[in-house]
Structure 1
Amino acid sequence: MKRFASLIALPLMLSVAACSGEAEKGAESATSGEPIAAIPAPAGKNWTETVTKTDKGYYVLGNPDAPIKLVEYASLTCSHCAEFAEQAFETIRDKYVASGRVSFEMRNYVREPLDLTASMLTRCGPNESYFALTEQVLANQADIFTKAQAMGQQRFEAALAMPDNQRFVALADGTGLIDFFAQRGISRDQAMQCLTNVDTARALADNTNTATKEDDIQGTPTFFLNGRKVEFTGWPALETEIQALGAR
């Protein structure tokens, strides 16, 4: 999608970074550890359906005490993030998270207003719906871009100029996101409530700025394994690093 010139005009402190195909190289490569035994979920539970929210407002899929912790900084409007989700998410969930050995934390790194609007909407349902909604946005990214382009720059800029508690409603309406999420279980009333919550928007923007400064995030997707930033050259290499930590 040709980026609108006004995408960085949002009056929130947004850090705009490039959508990058790789993260910076970490200080060291993964070490090969002993295989870790599978960790059963509590009775009546399934790790692939267990989602917890962190103090910073991020979401963790799986065993919150998993010995291997995979973290992804992702943008919902980053094509490389969409590619990674298509290639890897099912395997991460069904092979690694399901075993209880690995948890997967998604951290929204919002790059511009459309990204921020979609990120707000993924938080409209219960915690358990966050990953499914996020995956749906990434899987349908091209269609969302097409509708955003059809909105036109004049209407887009007019939406950005609205008061804080109206701006994201106008963007979501104009880009078809309200209808998109309604088809996936988030009613219009729910969407309105989420999109008028300026605190959510500010928290997402603040988290992005903090990540830029504290974790040196320069692009998306960027990955951490057990707190160590890893070089990302594709899913096969990242999976090898996960296995080297004992998930095998």
Structure 2
Amino acid sequence: MKAKTYILGLIAVAALAGMFWYGDWSRSKVDNSQTASIIDQNGEQDENTGQSNEDNSANGIKVAASEANGDIILGSPEAPVTMVEYSSYLCGHCVNFHLNNLPTLIEKYVQTGKLKIIPRLVSPVELSAAVLCANEQDSFYEFNEYLFSHIQDLDSVDDVKSIVGKLGLNQEIFNACHGDNRYDDQIKDWFNKADADGVAGTPTFFINGEKIVGNQPLDVFESVIEKYSIQ
């Protein structure tokens, strides 16, 4: 099946310390030298975090997702600390963050009601649409983490659809959603918000407005979250 094509004006192709931002999807656009060290060499240490690169795709964890103002909110909407995450499935450092840092942040802060995460997936857009379709079946977090953990295994949109059965979702409902353009405006809004926030590459985070560029060591995220948790 031919992937949908989106024209979103001028979509930057940004390369910032290995961070990639694309408007459409092709395996040739993945920085294989980077993602291979993250995904393929399971059990080895990642230079940025010093943690094991195992496949952490959700690990059976359920994270509630709600919607507000065109955004997905992971965790309690009442959490005192908000982390906005701009990321791309084709960004090696984004994969790194989701495999190594995010599981700890989910367990330590999201599931304890201290932190809510607002993910904005700026590329590739057909995968962003897919995870929004999964959200219709209350599986945003599981689908999102599966994509980040298995991005090198996905050659086409049909491969993305195969995830549906693996996660126990309704294939017919997902296909109907992903076959139309119902989330075009929401994805365009994420691009517009990235531009307004001065995002030059992925991943970029804003924790209660404080900007963090790149996948920093875990203690950087923890220190900023803790700072705003006690205010």
TM-score (norm 2): 0.69
Which of 218, 226, 229 is equivalent to 1:243? Answer: 226
> Residue type matched to 2:75 in 1?
G
Contact 1:59-1:105 within 8 A present in 2 as well: yes
1:104-143 matched pairs, under 5 angstroms: 104-110=117-123, 115-125=124-134, 126=136, 128-143=138-153
Contact 1:52 1:60 in 2 (8 A): yes
Q: 1:211 is matched with which residue: 184, 189, 193?
A: 193
Query: CA 1:21/1:244 → structure 2, altered by over 3 Å: closer, same or farther?
Result: farther
Give the Å deviation of 1:16: 2.8
1:168 is aligned to none
Given candidates 34, 49, 63, the residue that maps to 1:49 is 63
Comparing 238-247 with 97-106, which one deviates more in the overlay?
A: 238-247
Distance 1:109 1:74, change over 3 A: same
Which entry has the higher C-alpha Rg, 1 or 2?
1
Number of residue pairs aligned between Structure 1 and Structure 2: 184
Instruction: Give 1 or 2: higher helix fraction.
Output: 1
Give unmatched runs, 5+ long, in structure 1.
1-6, 24-47, 149-171
Q: Is the 8 A contact 1:60 1:106 kept in 2?
A: yes
Q: CA deviation at 1:227?
A: 2.0
Change (3 A) 1:127 1:218: farther
Q: Which amino acid aligns with 2:138?
A: E
Aligned equivalent of 1:35: none
- 1:224 pairs, out of 197, 203, 206, with 206
Distance 1:180 1:226 in 2: 33
1:231 and 1:195, CA in 2 relative to 1: closer, same or farther beyond 3 A?
closer
Unaligned residue ranges in structure 2 (runs of 5+): 20-61
State how 1:167-182 maps to structure 2 within 5 Å.
172-173=157-158, 176-182=159-165
Q: CA deviation at 1:77?
A: 2.0
CA RMSD of aligned residues (A): 2.7
Does the 8 Å contact 1:19/1:221 carry over to 2?
no
Q: Alignment partner of 2:132: what SS?
A: coil
* Cα distance in 1, alignment partners of residues 168 and 140 from structure 2: 12
